[in-house]
């Protein structure tokens, strides 16, 4: 299949990009455009050229497979193609529909004229990958729509609809009806009227006070884009558009190269590809036929069940929620209503839309009412016996082919599957709290889980706007199994001399959205306590710090009890350091004979984060995670890990695995508690020895 087509419509040549799904500007497309231009130039019968895209988009920009390789692209590069468009002696008209993004828009900016269908999304989203548009976009867009509008688009990366940009030099005409027919008619008009060719490079940038505006933009963006250099790079590049075109273009190129080399951009690009990779399951081909999901049921209307029901209602899928008792059902449905009402109050959802969503959620106490659901998600107490009762009943009533999912956070999914006569239909759907807000969904694959069940659940995740990552069965799955090791280091740091506020501050300054103690206070310290109590019995060999138990024994469960690792003013969420906790921590160190010492923030960060890395490596080695990048997706989308560091495994790569290893060995020599904690996972040791990385 050629990546571009060339045809003649009367005296107008039409070059059509045809590289599904979104006409990415790969080498074949770039070459095809140049060849088409030459052919049109050489043909005396041709008076003008229309450049358009087939299918779903004009062009979504760079071809991501080519982009991913990171290799120097082969000529003609996009900048050369754009130069060829500009240099054409016959008018070139870009005809845009649906999507013109990134390089796609930059390409169109090289044409002499542009026409668009209404509703086309126009964007330069490179900033979201820590970059800037590097093929003249920062120079030509300000010349088309003005300095201010261009800066907003480029520094935010957000799309703007074509009709909003009508009346600027970006679009000469909006076309109703067939776009190419309209574009050809427009081309004929231009030729007939002998209109001069317009080159954006020759246009002036309009603004009454460019310097003042750029300074203002710089201050605003600097305040908003902490830790991300790209938005400021975008401002600098756009500012250069007030200089002669070639000077600005050169600056754009330099700034692009500089951003390309930043760890922040590496992290954002890594996560972009990691999210795409996470949706693929090695032995479940993309063509695997899923099952239709039209009705969903939830068992349990507590914290999680309510939030999960909202996810489906928001996506337009009707949900039935079952509770054991009338009172619990009323309470659960009441919380759902309150959540919607507060979204309406904040102006984030119109009241009628909220009512529509609420109406999609039905409550029941009878299992028979779930019989017709295509998918049921259990979210009852984290207790195997309770789950057994629920799954036995579900097995009896659910129609054949229904998918039975559990939201368990730690229990053995294979045991749950064994409660039913249909283990292939059982899967884990581990949502994160609050379930209607958090993006992450761990899809837990049991021994017997069917491939079509997995394919269906991955698809459902996408429909409800979640980022799904597949995990094998183990205690805590990917995310919580790792966080337990992180939490253990945080607790040991307290025994050795740190205080909760210091540990949290160090990790928050480093970039975590919330330090471990604030996080536990939010989630409820009793939850971790219950899990630890089970683990003391199940894994007697692991040495736990008991300091968290002391906090719980005092009833300090966190925000919900007004006291935890911190204290809270009534109705407030601000964590206030509590001298009583500091005293408890110090007394505990004395009691266990631990000599307290000054601990640096650097040590706090390294011990907590490398604890994540080591467990992550173990998880990859065991095949619980399919790939290291899945772990990064879990941590960034579910645990507040800083986006600009790209996840724990990429962070380890960036540090250099031999350095990670030597720090771990150092901690191992002085560690309190379990010395084997810092035993490097074999995968980590192997990669470090071979000079490789987790993602290499
Ligand atoms: P919760 O205690 O808020 O809610 C559980 C609900 O299940 C209660 O409303 C209870 O009345 C209902 N229930 C209990 N037994 C039932 C039965 N036999 N039939 C019908 N309803 C029954 O608990 P939460 O926090 O919502 O947790 C539910 C599940 O989700 C647990 O497996 C938990 O491990 C898991 N989970 C919890 C997260 C959290 O942050 N709270 C995060 C991810 C998973």
pLDDT digit string (tens) for 20-57? 999 999 999 999 999 999 999 999 999 999 999 999 99
How many CB atoms lie under 10 A from the CB of residue 670? 9
- Substitution candidate for ligand 1 out of 379, 442, 477 with most atoms within 8 A of CB: 379
Cα-based torsion angle of the residue sequence 401, 402, 403, 408 in order, rounded to the nearest 10 degrees: -140
128 φ, ψ to 5°?
-70, -15
Angle among Cα 613, 615, 617 to the nearest 5 degrees reads 70
Closest ligand 1 atom, residue 431 Cα:
43
Q: Does the structure show a pLDDT above 90 at 671?
A: no
Token pair of 235 as six digits: 């401002």
Note the pLDDT of residue 647.
Answer: 98
Residue in the block written with tokens 């959620």? 361
pLDDT band for 196, please (50, 70, 90 cuts): very high
Q: Does the structure show a pLDDT above 90 at 213?
A: yes
Report how far residue 681's alpha carbon sits from residue 657's, in angstroms, rounded to the nearest whole number.
12
Q: Sort strands 426-431 and 403-406 into parallel, antiparallel or unpaired.
A: parallel
List the one residue out of 324, 306, 610, 548 whose CA is nearest residue 436.
306
Report how far residue 255's alpha carbon sits from residue 132's, in angstroms, rounded to the nearest whole number.
8
- Substitution candidate for ligand 1 out of 298, 299, 300, 328 with most atoms within 8 A of CB: 300
Please answer whether residues 298 and 376 qualify as being in contact, where contact means their C-beta atoms are separated by less than 8 angstroms.
Answer: yes
**Residue of the CA atom closest to atom 8 of ligand 1:** 302
Please answer whether residues 662 and 670 qualify as being in contact, where contact means their C-beta atoms are separated by less than 8 angstroms.
Answer: no
Q: Does the structure show a pLDDT above 80 at 654?
A: yes
Residue 407 Cα to ligand 1 middle (Å): 8
Report how far residue 459's alpha carbon sits from residue 441's, in angstroms, rounded to the nearest whole number.
12
Q: Which residues, 6+ apart, have CB-to-CB distance to 612 below 8 Å?
A: 482, 483, 485, 486, 635, 648
Q: What is the per-residue pLDDT across 294-346, written as a single tens digit (0 to 9) for each? A: 999 999 999 999 999 999 999 999 999 999 999 999 999 999 999 999 999 99
**Residue of the CA atom closest to atom 1 of ligand 1:** 302
Closest ligand 1 atom, residue 306 Cα:
26
Token pair of 454 as six digits: 């997995």
Note the pLDDT of residue 1.
Answer: 80
Note the pLDDT of residue 471.
Answer: 98
Report how far residue 535's alpha carbon sits from residue 55's, in angstroms, rounded to the nearest whole number.
55
Report how far residue 133's alpha carbon sits from residue 107's, in angstroms, rounded to the nearest whole number.
11
Query: Is the Cα dihedral 520, 524, 525, 529 positive or negative?
Result: negative
Residue 638 Cα to ligand 1 middle (Å): 19
Portion of the chain with pLDDT greater than 90, in percent: 94
List the one residue out of 493, 518, 668 whose CA is nearest residue 596.
493
Average pLDDT over residues 645-651: 98
Sheet with 92-96: strands ordered across: 4-9, 12-17, 48-53, 92-96, 113-117, 173-175
- Substitution candidate for ligand 1 out of 381, 413, 436, 475 with most atoms within 8 A of CB: 381
Note the pLDDT of residue 285.
Answer: 96
Q: Beta-strand (E) ranges in 433-534?
A: 440-444, 467-471
Q: What is the per-residue pLDDT across 224-249, written as a single tens digit (0 to 9) for each? A: 998 999 999 999 999 999 999 999 99
Token pair of 194 as six digits: 């002998």
Report how far residue 524's alpha carbon sits from residue 674's, in angstroms, rounded to the nearest whole number.
26
Note the pLDDT of residue 28.
Answer: 96
Cα-based torsion angle of the residue sequence 29, 153, 437, 319 in order, rounded to the nearest 10 degrees: -60
Closest ligand 1 atom, residue 433 Cα:
40
Residue in the block written with tokens 């810092």? 678
Residue 527 Cα to ligand 1 middle (Å): 12
Average pLDDT over residues 106-125: 98
Residue in the block written with tokens 């909202």? 310
Closest ligand 1 atom, residue 301 Cα:
9
Q: Does the structure show a pLDDT above 80 at 72?
A: no
Residue 50 Cα to ligand 1 middle (Å): 59
User: What b-and-e string marks burial along 442-465, b requiring 16 or more CB atoms within 10 Å of the CB?
Assistant: bbbbbebbbbbbbbbbbebbeebe
**Residue of the CA atom closest to atom 25 of ligand 1:** 303
List of domains in the chain: 4-260 (3.90.226.10), 296-471 (3.40.50.720), 485-690 (1.10.1040.50)
Q: Which residues, 6+ apart, have CB-to-CB distance to 221 below 8 Å?
A: 155, 231, 232, 234, 235
Average pLDDT over residues 140-165: 97
Complex-level ipTM beyond the 0.95 threshold: yes
Q: Sort strands 375-378 and 296-299 into parallel, antiparallel or unpaired.
A: parallel
**Residue of the CA atom closest to atom 36 of ligand 1:** 409
Report how far residue 677's alpha carbon sits from residue 491's, in angstroms, rounded to the nearest whole number.
14
Q: What is the per-residue pLDDT across 430-440, written as a single tens digit (0 to 9) for each? A: 999 999 999 99
Strand partners, 406: 378, 428
Chain centroid to Cα 317, Å, comes to 23
297 φ, ψ to 5°?
-125, 150
Please answer whether residues 34 and 84 qualify as being in contact, where contact means their C-beta atoms are separated by less than 8 angstroms.
Answer: yes
Note the pLDDT of residue 181.
Answer: 98
Q: Sort strands 4-9 and 12-17 into parallel, antiparallel or unpaired.
A: antiparallel
567 φ, ψ to 5°?
-115, 160
Q: Does the structure show a pLDDT above 90 at 664?
A: yes
Q: Does the structure show a pLDDT above 80 at 59?
A: yes
Average pLDDT over residues 115-143: 97
14 φ, ψ to 5°?
-115, 120
Q: Which residues, 6+ apart, have CB-to-CB distance to 430 below 8 Å?
A: 407, 408, 409, 441, 442, 443, 444, 471, 477
Report how far residue 513's alpha carbon sits from residue 642's, in angstroms, rounded to the nearest whole number.
7
Residue 333 Cα to ligand 1 middle (Å): 14
Closest ligand 1 atom, residue 389 Cα:
18
Report how far residue 556's alpha carbon sits from residue 560's, in angstroms, rounded to the nearest whole number.
9
pLDDT band for 206, please (50, 70, 90 cuts): confident
Residue 379 Cα to ligand 1 middle (Å): 5
Closest ligand 1 atom, residue 386 Cα:
18
Note the pLDDT of residue 656.
Answer: 97
Residue 387 Cα to ligand 1 middle (Å): 10
Report how far residue 173's alpha carbon sits from residue 186's, in angstroms, rounded to the nearest whole number.
8
- Distances, alpha carbon 508 to alpha carbons 108, 514, 516, in Å: 43, 6, 9
pLDDT band for 549, please (50, 70, 90 cuts): very high
pLDDT band for 64, please (50, 70, 90 cuts): confident
- Substitution candidate for ligand 1 out of 297, 299, 305, 514 with most atoms within 8 A of CB: 305
**Residue of the CA atom closest to atom 43 of ligand 1:** 432
**Residue of the CA atom closest to atom 35 of ligand 1:** 408
Residue 530 Cα to ligand 1 middle (Å): 14
pLDDT band for 250, please (50, 70, 90 cuts): very high
Average pLDDT over residues 114-121: 97
Residue 183 Cα to ligand 1 middle (Å): 58
Ligand 1 site, CB within 6 A? 299-305, 322-324, 328, 332, 379-382, 386, 389-390, 407-409, 430-433, 523
Portion of the chain with pLDDT greater than 70, in percent: 100
Residue 504 Cα to ligand 1 middle (Å): 28
**Residue of the CA atom closest to atom 9 of ligand 1:** 302
Note the pLDDT of residue 544.
Answer: 86
**Residue of the CA atom closest to atom 44 of ligand 1:** 409
**pTM of the prediction?**
0.94
Please answer whether residues 166 and 135 qualify as being in contact, where contact means their C-beta atoms are separated by less than 8 angstroms.
Answer: no
**Residue of the CA atom closest to atom 14 of ligand 1:** 380
Residue 328 Cα to ligand 1 middle (Å): 11
How many CB atoms lie under 10 A from the CB of residue 28? 15
Q: How much is the mean pLDDT over the chain?
A: 96
Closest ligand 1 atom, residue 332 Cα:
9
Strand partners, 2: none
Residue 389 Cα to ligand 1 middle (Å): 14
**Residue of the CA atom closest to atom 42 of ligand 1:** 432
Q: Beta-strand (E) ranges in 40-132?
A: 48-53, 92-96, 99-101, 113-117, 121-123
pLDDT band for 288, please (50, 70, 90 cuts): very high
**Residue of the CA atom closest to atom 12 of ligand 1:** 300
Closest ligand 1 atom, residue 410 Cα:
34
- Distances, alpha carbon 110 to alpha carbons 38, 239, 247, 332, in Å: 16, 20, 17, 57
Q: Does the structure show a pLDDT above 90 at 670?
A: no
Closest ligand 1 atom, residue 390 Cα:
18
**Residue of the CA atom closest to atom 31 of ligand 1:** 382
Chain centroid to Cα 259, Å, comes to 20
- Indicate the helix (H) or strand (E) that contains 160: strand 160-161
List the one residue out of 120, 114, 144 whose CA is nearest residue 60.
120
Q: Which residues, 6+ apart, have CB-to-CB distance to 553 below 8 Å?
A: none
Closest ligand 1 atom, residue 378 Cα:
29
Report how far residue 216's alpha carbon sits from residue 218's, in angstroms, rounded to the nearest whole number.
5
Average pLDDT over residues 612-627: 98
Q: Does the structure show a pLDDT above 80 at 673?
A: no
Average pLDDT over residues 73-98: 96
Please answer whether residues 457 and 374 qualify as being in contact, where contact means their C-beta atoms are separated by less than 8 angstroms.
Answer: no
Note the pLDDT of residue 166.
Answer: 92
- Substitution candidate for ligand 1 out of 303, 408, 443 with most atoms within 8 A of CB: 303
Q: Which residues are catalytic?
A: 106, 126
Q: What is the per-residue pLDDT across 563-581, written as a single tens digit (0 to 9) for each? A: 999 999 998 999 999 999 9
Cα-based torsion angle of the residue sequence 613, 618, 622, 626 in order, rounded to the nearest 10 degrees: 10
Note the pLDDT of residue 478.
Answer: 98
Report how far residue 469's alpha carbon sits from residue 467's, in angstroms, rounded to the nearest whole number.
7
């Amino acid at each position: 299949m050629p990546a571009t087509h060339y045809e003649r419509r009367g005296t107008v040549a039409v070059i059509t990009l045809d590289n599904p799904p979104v006409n990415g500007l790969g080498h074949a497309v770039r070459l095809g455009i140049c060849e088409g231009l030459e052919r049109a130039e050489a043909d005396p019968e041709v008076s003008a050229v229309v450049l358009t895209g087939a299918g779903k988009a004009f062009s979504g920009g760079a071809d991501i497979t080519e982009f991913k390789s990171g290799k120097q692209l082969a000529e003609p590069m996009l900048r050369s193609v754009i130069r060829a468009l500009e240099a054409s002696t016959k008018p070139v008209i870009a005809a845009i529909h649906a999507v013109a993004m990134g390089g796609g828009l930059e390409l169109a900016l090289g044409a002499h004229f542009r026409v668009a269908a209404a509703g086309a999304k126009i964007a330069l989203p490179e900033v979201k990958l820590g970059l800037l548009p590097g093929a003249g976009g920062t120079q030509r867009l300000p010349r088309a729509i003005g300095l201010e509008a261009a800066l907003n688009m480029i520094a935010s990366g957000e799309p703007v609809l074509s009709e909003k940009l009508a009346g600027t030099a970006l679009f000469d005409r909006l076309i109703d009806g067939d776009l190419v027919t309209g574009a050809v008619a427009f081309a004929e008009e231009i030729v007939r009227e002998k209109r001069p060719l317009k080159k954006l490079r020759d246009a002036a940038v309009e603004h009454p006070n460019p310097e003042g505006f750029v300074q203002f933009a710089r201050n605003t963006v600097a305040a908003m884009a902490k830790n991300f250099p790209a938005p400021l790079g975008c401002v600098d590049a756009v500012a250069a558009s007030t200089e002669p075109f070639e000077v600005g273009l050169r600056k754009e190129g330099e700034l692009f190269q500089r951003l390309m080399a930043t760890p922040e951009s590496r992290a954002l690009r890594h996560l972009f590809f990691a999210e795409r990779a996470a949706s693929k399951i090695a032995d479940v081909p993309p063509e695997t036929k899923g099952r239709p999901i039209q009705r969903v049921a939830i068992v349990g209307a507590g914290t999680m069940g309510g939030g999960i029901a909202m996810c489906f209602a928001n996506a337009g899928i009707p949900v039935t929620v079952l509770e054991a008792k009338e009172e619990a059902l009323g309470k659960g449905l009441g919380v759902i209503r309150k959540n919607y009402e507060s979204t309406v109050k904040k102006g984030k959802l119109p009241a009628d839309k909220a009512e529509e969503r609420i109406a999609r959620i039905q409550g029941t106490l009878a299992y028979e009412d779930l019989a017709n659901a295509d998918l049921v998600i259990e979210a009852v107490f984290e207790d195997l016996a309770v789950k057994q009762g629920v799954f036995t009943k579900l097995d009896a009533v659910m129609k054949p082919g229904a998918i039975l999912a559990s939201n368990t956070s730690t229990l053995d999914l294979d045991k749950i599957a064994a409660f039913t006569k249909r283990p292939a239909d059982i899967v884990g759907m581990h949502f994160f709290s609050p379930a209607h807000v958090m993006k992450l969904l761990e899809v837990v694959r049991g021994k017997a889980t069917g491939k079509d069940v997995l394919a269906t659940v991955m698809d459902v995740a996408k429909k409800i706007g979640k980022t799904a990552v597949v995990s094998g069965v183990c205690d805590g799955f990917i995310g919580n199994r790792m966080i337990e090791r992180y939490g253990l280091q945080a607790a040991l740091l307290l025994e050795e001399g740190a205080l909760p506020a210091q540990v949290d501050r160090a990790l928050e300054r480093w970039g975590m959205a919330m330090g471990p103690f604030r996080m536990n206070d939010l989630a409820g310290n009793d939850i971790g306590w219950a899990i630890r109590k089970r683990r003391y019995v199940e894994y007697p060999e692991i040495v736990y710090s008991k300091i968290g138990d002391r906090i719980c024994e005092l009833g300090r469960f966190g925000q919900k009890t007004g006291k935890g690792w911190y204290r809270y003013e009534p109705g407030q969420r601000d964590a206030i350091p509590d001298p009583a906790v500091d005293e408890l921590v110090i007394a505990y160190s004395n009691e266990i004979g631990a000599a307290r010492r000054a601990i640096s923030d650097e040590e706090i960060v390294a011990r907590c984060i490398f604890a994540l890395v080591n467990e992550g490596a173990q998880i990859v080695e065991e095949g619980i995670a399919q790939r290291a990048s899945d772990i990064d997706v879990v941590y960034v989308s579910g645990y507040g890990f800083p986006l600009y560091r790209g996840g724990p495994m990429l962070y380890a790569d960036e540090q250099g695995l031999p350095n990670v290893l030597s720090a771990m060995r150092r901690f191992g020599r002085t560690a309190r508690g379990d010395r084997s904690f810092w035993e490097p996972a074999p995968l980590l040791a192997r990669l470090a020895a071979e000079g490789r990385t987790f993602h290499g």
